[in-house]
Amino acid sequence: MAKTEFEQKIQEDVRKQKGTTMPVKAGLLERLLVRKAACTNLHPNAEDEFTFDSVGPSFKIIGEYEQKFRYAINHNQEPFDDALIVEKLHPKGYLLLNGHHRWAAAMRCNIKKVPIKIVNLAQDSDIKKILENSKHDKRVTLDLDEVIFRDKNDQWVEKVPGFPHVLKFNNRIKLGIPALFYYLSKNGYDIWVYSANYYSIDDIQRFFRHYSAHVDGIITGTAKRKNNNSESAVAREKMIADKYKQTLHIDNDMILMTGDIGAKFKRFDLNASPDEWSRKVIDIIGEISKDAGQK
């Protein structure tokens, strides 16, 4: 099937990016102050399905957004409910992480500038540096949204950080997480946290520091990466897999151990009340370490 003119432009933009642009970290002031960007300074992401030959843009979705935007413009309303999530590029411009169809619709509506939110994600170079500097061959992984973060009204949370941090961070942290992370670090585990959302990794690092909790790796935006089989994504996963002989995936109700010799995985159920959750996790990991020492 022949490509439309728009699809050809996308492929040409992706082609031009290769070897000439690279994601870079945006400074705190830029992330705070830059709230809008010209559509022409935003570039499609080669690792997003929007640019894949096998998937590509949905003109139905673009059309729905276009209709919504034109209605808003005709009624003197703001077309965008949420900002497009972007990453800073060198030497200029921004890479689209979330919002490709809205960006396309904005251009069709001749909207010159769109709201953006700049985030800093972990790059392959960041992951490589973490792995090279680590002296450990085992790690734990936890989901930020499902396991670590809690609503501010939740009963079983750590004490709220002091002013002014309480104003910036709406999330609270699950009771026992700082003590658990301390135990893990002391017992030779690297700690990796993941999120489907596009959090900026420096914001997450700062968040954990307020709780005196150390994390080694922060991977965000995983919802878009799940079905990503690009060369760089495969290399990234191999880099991590080659480093760690054992990984413990800690969930709310279980621990899943992978990489254990002679077995694909092993499950440990966490039958514990919220106030005993971290203690139960520590007990199970202690038993795992004891068993490994006896082999």
Q: Give pLDDT tens digits along the chain (295 positions).
A: 457 889 999 999 999 999 999 999 999 999 999 999 999 999 999 989 999 988 999 999 999 999 999 999 999 999 999 999 999 999 999 999 999 999 999 999 999 999 999 999 998 899 999 999 999 999 999 999 999 999 888 999 998 766 555 555 677 899 999 999 999 999 999 999 999 999 999 999 988 988 889 999 999 998 766 556 667 778 888 888 899 999 999 999 999 999 854 457 899 999 999 999 999 999 999 999 888 765 5
The topology (CATH level 3) of 5-118 is: 3.90.1530
CA distance linking residue 111 with residue 32, whole number of Å: 23
Q: Model pTM?
A: 0.89
The domain limits of the chain are 5-118, 124-294
* CA dihedral of 43, 48, 49, 51, whole degrees rounded to 10: 30
* Domain boundaries 124-294, corresponding CATH code: 3.40.50
Which long-range contacts (C-beta less than 8 Å, at least 24 apart) are formed by 144-151?
144/193, 144/194, 144/195, 144/197, 144/199, 144/204, 144/220, 145/195, 145/196, 145/197, 146/251, 146/252, 147/174, 147/250, 147/251, 147/252, 148/173, 148/174, 148/177, 148/193, 149/173, 149/174, 150/174
Count CB neighbours of 218 within 10 A: 25
